[in-house]
Amino acid sequence: MAGPRHLAHGAAAEALAARYLADQGLCLITRNFRARFGELDLVMTERDVLVIVEVRARRKTNVTLPGGTIDFRKQRRLIGAARYFLLRHRHYASWPVRFDVVEVTGELSDPRIRWTRAAFSLDDVAGR
């Protein structure tokens, strides 16, 4: 039954990331926004910037860091979901959009959190 445990770990890591970013001054709009293209873990604002946050969690990082698992296809799905969010929430349509990644590693009782601002952009994916 690794599935439910894995999902619980991911949900707990998202909650940690949301609290961490809130402590850094970001404001949470929604969690787990679902679209046909995919899901946005956290949608937040920082001043007048809409921040889409992908949360990646790993207990062990001996193979790869969690952020290294966000490939071109995943970026494209996140951008599609972000565009859908903007269609549903038109008051953010004129805001700049930033895609951040938060890596949560180690045990959740003593996590290490790494926040990468502007991990990728609309331009990174649009040109491919």
Q: What is the pTM for the complete model shown? A: 0.86
Q: How many domains does the chain have?
A: 1
- Average pLDDT taken over every residue of the chain: 86
Say what the alpha-carbon torsion angle 106, 22, 55, 115 is, to the nearest 10 degrees.
Answer: -70
**CA-based R_g, the chain, Å:** 14
**pLDDT one-digit tens code per residue, 19-43:** 999 999 999 999 999 999 899 999 9
- CATH number of the domain that 12 lies in? 3.40.1350.10
Confidence of residue 124 (pLDDT cuts 50, 70, 90): low
- For 92, the 3-state DSSP assignment is helix
Per-residue tokens: 93:
């349509």
For residues 72 and 25, the answer to whether their CB atoms sit within 8 Å is: no
Give me the amino acid identity at 19: R
Residues ≥6 apart with Cβ < 8 Å to 96: 48, 49, 50
Strand residue runs (E) in the chain: 27-35, 38-46, 49-58, 97-105, 112-120
User: What is the model's pLDDT at position 9?
Assistant: 73
For residues 101 and 56, the answer to whether their CB atoms sit within 8 Å is: yes
Return the ∠ at Cα 50 (arms to 49 and 51), rounded to 5°. Answer: 105
**Domain of residue 13, residue span:** 2-126
**pLDDT one-digit tens code per residue, 71-88:** 888 899 999 999 999 999
DSSP-derived letter for residue 110 is S
